[in-house]
Chain A
Amino acid sequence: MLELKNISFNVSTDGADKEIIRGVDLVVPDGKLIVVTGPNGGGKSTLAKIIAGIETPTGGSIFFSGEDITRLSVTERAKRGIAFAFQQPVKFKGISVKDLIRIASGKNISVADACEYLSSVGLCARDYIDREVNASLSGGELKRIEIATVLARGAELTLFDEPEAGIDLWSFRNLIDVFRNMKKANKNGSILIISHQERILDIADEIVVLKDGRIDKQGKKDDILPSLIGTTSAISDCAMMNPGKGAE
């Protein structure tokens, strides 16, 4: 279980402090899928980075499985079972897909096992396992590899920062199955997804709406989702592919 207590995060720009997160309390229970939505600039990605340890909160504390992890590094949090899928996958020179999956799994897994993770994100494993994770791969391919490495972590808590960003519609629809399968495979594992996609919101157990750095709404999917349809907090998948024509 993850618990955020009164988390705040400020940045200073041009000498003035700007509050990005303002006193957020949030519980992510074991076995649950929570989706955090809300308008752009509301602090969603920052919140995910604070949980992963990439950003340090200005105030408040974070508990994971009962332990205060507020001051722990990214590495220490990863070792305790927090995985993080980047919105923009990172590219490397000379590091292969196989290398990344092996590092993620924490052991020298077989090529066959590494291929399983690629297959589950819809990539033909044989074509990708030895490829370098570099700019020769398309944005959609990199994104799927990013998700495969996170699956390989088999973590207790998996964070996804806008998993829909940069992928095509076909992949996006398959992504929903990836989340469903993750839930099935690890009944105690919890998932926190940053997204304003209606289809992703639709598979949530709970929805959290973050606005201006505060929790605006929070509750069971069926209670929250209807009020979000037609706003930027719940965009349909076709609208996602045609920016500008989406619901405003």
Chain B
Amino acid sequence: MMKLDEIQKRLLREVADLHAVPEGAYNIRSNSQSAGRQSTANIEITPKTDVSGLDIRIKAGTKNESVHIPVVMTQTGLYELVYNDFYIGEGADVVIVAGCGIDNCGSQDSEHDGIHRFYVGKNAKVKYVEKHYGSGSGSGKRILNPGTEVYQEEGSSVEMEMVQIKGVDDTKRTTTAKLAAGAKLVVRERLMTHDEQRAISTYVVSLDGEGASADVVSRSVAKGNSFQKFDAKIIGNAPCHGHTECDSIIMENGKILAVPALEANDLDAALVHEAAIGKIAGEQIIKLMTLGLTEAEAEEQIINGFLR
């Protein structure tokens, strides 16, 4: 495996909780090159030949295995567009950890656009964790535009945890999902923006088969002069259950636009949307101050809990 420097190692810890080479299948991408790759008996990772990216094939019935595909960028002015396709075999049960960390100390923008497509076989179960993180003192922006497409066959289940807490200047996140009968999708998004950052998160979930269900929940905090847009649409094309929730805290000059959308095309589609935006409740701060925290410490506790 290629040697990683300290900044690259720090980014890996931030986005994938990796302190060493992971167990199981992995591909570590560093400054647009593969810094290490390993397939296992059940999980095969191969580079694409036509475009940049990987094909990840998980055999039917694979249980309790994991795939790590973190990306780190430390060169300023780097732009990359990567396609990663996951083929998850029938009845498999796996954890996939992605994520991207950018450290930009230069004056040019660094941008990683990752398109992840998931083809989830019948009754397969996937837990997907994606963390985004930016650091570096340069004036160049750290830009991440993840596109996620999920195609779920009957009875499959996908749980996605998407986290972007710090340092990413500009994000356009687009997630689309199509669910067949009995398939289940759970999304937990945690987002914090600060300074002049912008984040746009768009979801379009189609519940196409009987008994399909989706639960898309976003918790976000906008600080400084940052702006967020949460645009979640659930389409019920069959008897199904859909729930989307946007719960946000605004601080300083932070601005948030929540655009809920529900479309029911079947009489037995049950769809619910909830959205709440507001500042931190003053009584929460005062309560923690009576326990001995300063106002700043109280705010930090409240935000940490909210984004947990």
Contact = CB atoms under 8 A, between A and B. Distances in A.
Instruction: Decide whether A and B assemble into one complex.
Output: yes
Interface of A: 52, 54, 73-75, 78-79, 83-84, 86, 90, 92-96, 99-100, 103-104, 106, 149, 153
Contact of B291 (A73, A94, A104): A104
7 contacts: A52-B290, A84-B290, A93-B305, A93-B306, A94-B304, A96-B305, A153-B292
B48 interface: no
Contacts of B65: none
B288 interface: yes
Nearest to A54: B286
Given A52-B290, A74-B286, A94 B308 contact: yes
Contacts of A74: 286, 289-290
B307 interface: yes
Given A54-B286, A90-B284, A92-B284, A99 B305 contact: yes
Interface stretch (B129-137, B171-179, B227-235, B294-302): B294-302
Nearest to A159: B290
Contacts of B288: 103
Contacts of A103: 288, 291-293, 301
Nearest to A85: B290
Given A75-B294, A103-B301, A86 B287 contact: yes
B291 A149 contact: yes
A95 B302 contact: yes
A75 B293 contact: yes
- Which of the listed residues B247, B283, B289 has the most CB atoms from chain A within 10 Å of its own CB? B289
Given A54-B286, A92-B284, A93-B219, 17 more contacts: A52-B290, A73-B289, A74-B289, A75-B293, A75-B295, A78-B291, A78-B292, A79-B292, A84-B290, A86-B290, A92-B302, A93-B306, A94-B304, A94-B308, A99-B301, A104-B291, A153-B291
Given A75-B295, A99-B301, A99-B305, A93 B247 contact: yes
Contacts of A73: 289
Contact of B289 (A78, A95, A149, A153): A78
A148 to B, nearest CB: 12
A83 B294 CA distance: 15
A86 B284 CA distance: 11
B30 to A, nearest CB: 34
Given A95-B302, A99-B301, A90 B289 contact: no
Contacts of A83: 290
Given A75-B293, A103-B291, A95 B305 contact: yes
A74 B297 CA distance: 13
> Most B CB atoms within 10 A — which of A95, A96, A100?
A95
A153 B293 CA distance: 12
A74 B293 CA distance: 9
Nearest to A102: B291
Contacts of B289: 73-75, 78
Closest CB pairs A-B (n = 6): A94-B305, A95-B305, A74-B289, A90-B287, A78-B292, A94-B308
Contacts of A78: 289-292
Contacts of B294: 75
